[in-house]
Structure 1
Amino acid sequence: MSEILSKKEIGQFVSEGFIRIDNAFSSEIADAAVTILWNDLPCDRSDASTWTEPVFRLGLYTQPPFIESLNTPKLHHVFDQLIGENKWIPPQSVGTFPVRFPSDRQPDDTGKHVDAGFPGSDPGNYFEWRINIKSKGRALLLLVLYSDVSEKDAPTVIYEGSHIDVAQLLSEAGDSGFSFMELAGRLEGLPERKEVYATGKAGTVYLCHPFLVHSAQPHRGRAPRFMAQPPLLLRDELSVSGSDAGCSPVERAIRLALE
């Protein structure tokens, strides 16, 4: 297969912290996944009066449409370009899904954050999970659109270039890193960054550096938004020091921050 990402696009990923892949999987796969999700929601697809909450959270999914959506040849090739061959684990599940509904109520999960990669003292408490400078456990954050998402449909807010700021924070915390909440408490003190909305057609995937700051926002559109935010898992830790030979774009971004 020819290269999916050009050198310019890889450079954009290093400096901005994300890249958008259109048509990463088919609309048929997206439709099949959304049908499964609707069956698990406590509301009626055809009756908006039953859409009583701004967000419903659904768990991990392993049915074929979900696995197929993240294991297309196109995505696998891009994973190789950003992480390196044999350095990531093919996704075997998708989740969680914060399904966002049109609502005048403010959702309670709109704070800036960075997703954690490995468990802390209480593995059952995600707020205690941790992030370290070697991104233990996490190669990428994936924002996977299973429905069309416009600027009104609660697209995830990406803070362009914020992965550089976070890498500098994490460099002070050693191998143990920060917990999810410890790092979240430090994000408001970072430099202001351009806000980019993760919009696109169903089948679009945003591949984000694991340190990229992002946040949710209220839904002001008409149709529910179906988006997953699974990690791409690492086989081993990233290499953020020593020789630059064989350095992946994900690693290069961290090294750039630490210069």
Structure 2
Amino acid sequence: MHVDSFIEDGFVHLKGAFPRALADGCREIIWRDLGADPGDPSTWPGPIAARPDHAEPPFVAAANTPRLHAAFDALVGEDRWTPRTSLGGFVIRFPADEPAVVDGWHVDVSFPGPGSSPDDYLTWRANVSSRDRALLMFFLLSDVGPDDAPTRLRIGSHRHVARVLEPEGEDGLDARELARRADAATAHLPTAQATGRAGDVYLCHPFLVHAGQPHHGTAPRFLAQPKLSPSKPLRLGLPAMSSTPVETAITQAFTH
């Protein structure tokens, strides 16, 4: 576990975080849910399909391997996160040149404000203490190469987003305003792509700016993007020796 690079870059690539066989089992269930045939492109929806939460055994097992739990402890802190009982929502990208709404640079929000609509995620909010989100995660359920619509990650963007959110207090910003400000504050940063093999997981700081992109490959890309929920609120302003990497990254954003 490269904790220093997580603090500096905002993410780590955990290779082989769960067995490939579990990824295969998850895809099989999703194909059935889609009502599509993996061997017949004429049945594929596209360019993008989103599926709701899945809590069948392969999904729960993929989210709870000993390797992942150890990584959660290292980044979020022992007893400071809540085990997953599912693998969250899914985004499946199919070969197509068409962009999608998720292709814009953004930060995932995590809690509803007083004026938020339960059915409109863009009205939800994020704040500097990352209420209700300990990590942003990308579970690769299929092999993802450079042409297979890998998620784009702005390296080090989490620090800039912390500085954007800090003056906004506990209310934070809604998804639309946060996306606008975060994009402007991080457009100069270099970009990484979340490529890898089925069974890999990208563990990201909650404030990491990221975006999708069209699929220029041949095989559909299956991605789960659950959040890791905290069991206790973040503690900001503590010395590095007393804080977790997620907390340290935010605190350092105000002093570096």
TM bin, normalised by shorter chain, reads over 0.9
SS in 2 for 1:79: helix
SS in 1 for 2:242: coil
- Cross-structure match for 1:253: 249
Question: Does residue 50 of structure 1 match 2:70?
Answer: no
The within-5 A match list for 1:64-83 is 64-83=57-76
CA shift at 1:159, angstroms? Answer: 0.5
Using the alignment, how far apart are the partners of 2:64 and 2:45 within structure 1?
34
Using the alignment, how far apart are the partners of 2:21 and 2:36 within structure 1?
23
| TM-score, normalised by the number of residues in structure 2 | 0.95
The within-5 A match list for 1:1-259 is 5=1, 9-120=2-113, 121=115, 122-191=117-186, 192-259=188-255
Preserved contact between residue 20 and residue 205 of structure 1 (Cα < 8 Å)? yes
CA shift at 1:104, angstroms? Answer: 2.9
AA aligned to 2:220 is: P
Using the alignment, how far apart are the partners of 2:169 and 2:182 within structure 1?
18
* Runs of 5+ consecutive residues of structure 1 not aligned to the other structure: none
Preserved contact between residue 140 and residue 210 of structure 1 (Cα < 8 Å)? yes
Deviations 1:63-121 (A, max 9, x none): 01111101000100010000110000001111211100001322232100111111123
Using the alignment, how far apart are the partners of 2:247 and 2:133 within structure 1?
12
Q: Which has the higher helix share?
A: 2
SS in 2 for 1:171: helix
Using the alignment, how far apart are the partners of 2:118 and 2:42 within structure 1?
37
Using the alignment, how far apart are the partners of 2:157 and 2:73 within structure 1?
23
CA RMSD of aligned residues (A): 1.2
SS in 2 for 1:226: strand
CA shift at 1:245, angstroms? Answer: 4.8
CA shift at 1:216, angstroms? Answer: 0.3
CA shift at 1:236, angstroms? Answer: 2.1
Deviations 1:11-46 (A, max 9, x none): 110000000100101111110000000001143221
Preserved contact between residue 106 and residue 183 of structure 2 (Cα < 8 Å)? no
Using the alignment, how far apart are the partners of 1:76 and 1:14 within structure 2?
18
| TM-score, normalised by the number of residues in structure 1 | 0.94
Preserved contact between residue 89 and residue 235 of structure 1 (Cα < 8 Å)? yes
The runs of at least 4 consecutive aligned structure 1 residues that moved more than 4 Å come to 242-245
Percent of matched pairs sharing the same residue:
44
* Runs of 5+ consecutive residues of structure 2 not aligned to the other structure: none
Aligned residues: 252
SS in 1 for 2:98: coil
CA shift at 1:242, angstroms? Answer: 4.4
Using the alignment, how far apart are the partners of 1:123 and 1:17 within structure 2?
29
